[in-house]
Amino acid sequence: MKYQSTRAEVKDKGISISEAMLIGLARDGGLFIPKFLPAFCANDFGENLNETAYRFLEIFFMNDQLENNLREICDNTFNFSIPMVHLEKRIEILELYHGPTGAFKDVGARFLAYSLNKLDKHLTVMVATSGDTGSAVASAFHNMENIDVAVLYPKDRISEFQEKQLTCWDNNIKSFRVDGDFDYCQNMVKEIFNSTNRSESLKITSANSINIGRLLPQCVYYVSSSLEYYKKYDIYANYIIPTGNMGNALAAIWTKLMGLPIGKIILASNINDTIPIYFDSGIFKSKPTIRTIASAMDVGRPSNMERYLNLKAFYNFDLSEISAYSVSDEEIKSAIKDVYNRFDRIICPHTATAFVVMKKIDLDSCIIVSTAHPSKFIDTVKPIVNCEIPIPKNMENHINNPANIIDIQTIDDLMDKITQ
């Protein structure tokens, strides 16, 4: 399999997945996508998640230098459970939060980390985070010998627990607290990427969801859950997916196009409604970011939209099965309360957006994608449900280590302190 930029011509000869993961963002500013999406059928897969991961990803690594490491990479990535849990009727919840930092981003971050580590090159991984990506990346890369990690996060715009998760590291991980918002952090990273001098001296790659190495492994849980759902109910699974940068939802859309039993794909956004506006009007226009209580989805310019628009241009698929809705903070709060009262289940504010949408469109068969553990957002959730939210064992590692924080304001600050 070869990969090319979303901005390249179809006849472009493409590069390997290892190269695409190392570069992160294509030189022309586009995002890497596979040359084609292969077709699968139900009996192509294994009994457990690791085996399914390997069989699904094999073709994407064909003829790549990591081909023979893929099984080990999958085993290391998928070493925690991703259960589909019954709620009521034909409604299931896909719990993506049992990894070491309690968000679905553990899957992509771990896969990317184990892959890059096998390539045995000296690298700096840069990541701007609105909260969850940074800790997933830090945890995945911690103590890897040849790879340094710089995490940039916006001061005073993440939860207290998230900040703890971002700053409890040492050795090869540096956490930069930036005096600015998430877009400002992301722009710093982009500027370093675009400046040849700076990026050559650091040999950087990006661990944001623009990196194809994070996106492909996310398809795996859509493969396994849609097959499980089909087996159980004999119908295609509709998914409701809390969406910010559109990485997780794009993985679901790719998986559907590859032939898995997936029906509707419904995207739930907070009031940052760039994506719902696009699906309603066909017009894609980025907007300034608005702060919400589902902060990991506070994105005004969803970068994976470029991959979606590319798909639309090259594949002839039925768009009516994909839709998007915007949800307010008030609706999020009342969904958290309602789900707790009715099902005795505590959900995070992001997962709550999917519950709001399910009710809005009155869907009675679906899989709700649960993107994070509620304890990460205890400041928001606890006052609503009024009970203790214990931190699960899998998230406890490192969390009580002393915080290592480097405060910065400008890109020159960052360049000075990154090499110290």
Ligand X SMILES: *Cc1c(COP(=O)(O)O)cnc(C)c1O
Query: Which residues of this chain interact with ligand X, rule CB under 6 A?
Result: 103, 105, 132, 209, 242-249, 296-297, 350, 371-372
User: Is 108 in contact with 139 (CB distance < 8 Å)?
Assistant: no
Where would I find the H helices in 263-418?
274-281, 305-314, 329-343, 349-360, 378-385, 411-418
d(CA 156, CA 181): 9
Residue 375 Cβ, how far from ligand X at the closest point, in Å? 12
Residue (182 or 193) nearer to ligand X, CB: 182
- Nearer Cβ to ligand X, position 103 or 212? 103
Separation of alpha carbons 86 and 91, rounded Å = 6
Query: By C-beta, is 25 or 408 nearer to ligand X?
Result: 25
Task: Quote the least distance from Cβ 19 to ligand X, whole Å.
Answer: 23
Tell me the closest approach of the beta carbon of residue 105 to ligand X, in angstroms: 6
Nearer to ligand X, 45 or 111 (CB): 111
Nearer to ligand X, 16 or 243 (CB): 243
CB of residue 214 vs ligand X: minimum separation in angstroms?
9
Question: At its nearest, how many Å lie between ligand X and the CB of residue 302?
Answer: 7
Which two tokens mark 247?
Answer: 């990485």
Cβ–Cβ < 8 Å for 174, 150: yes
CA distance 334 to 350: 13
275: Cα separation from own chain's centroid: 16
- For residues 34 and 134, which CB has a smaller minimum distance to ligand X in the complex? 134
CB of 99 to ligand X, least distance (A): 11
Amino acid at position 219, single letter: C
Nearer to ligand X, 262 or 408 (CB): 262
DSSP line for 85-99:
EEEETEEEEEE---S
Residue 354 CB, nearest approach to ligand X (Å): 10
SS3 31: strand
In the complex with ligand X, the residue whose CB is nearer, 16 or 130, is 130
**Left if phi > 0, otherwise alpha if psi is -120 to 50, otherwise beta: which for 36?**
beta
Q: Distance (Å, rounded) from C-alpha 376 to C-alpha 55?
A: 33
Distance in Å, CB of 135 to ligand X, minimum:
10
Strands 123-128 and 90-95: unpaired
What is the distance between the alpha carbons of residues 14 and 1, in angstroms, rounded to a whole number? 9
Determine the Cα–Cα distance for residues 334 and 329; give it in Å rounded to an integer: 9
In whole angstroms, how close is the CB of 295 to ligand X at the nearest point? 9
Going by DSSP bridges, is the β-strand pair 204-206/173-178 parallel, antiparallel, or unpaired? unpaired
Count of other CB atoms within 10 angstroms of residue 330? 10
Nearer to ligand X, 18 or 245 (CB): 245
Instruction: Label residues 211-232 b or e (16+ Cβ within 10 Å = b).
Output: bbbbbbbbbbbbbbbbbbbbee
Of 117 and 186, the one with the shorter C-beta distance to ligand X is 186
Nearest to 216 by CA among 4, 33, 50: 33
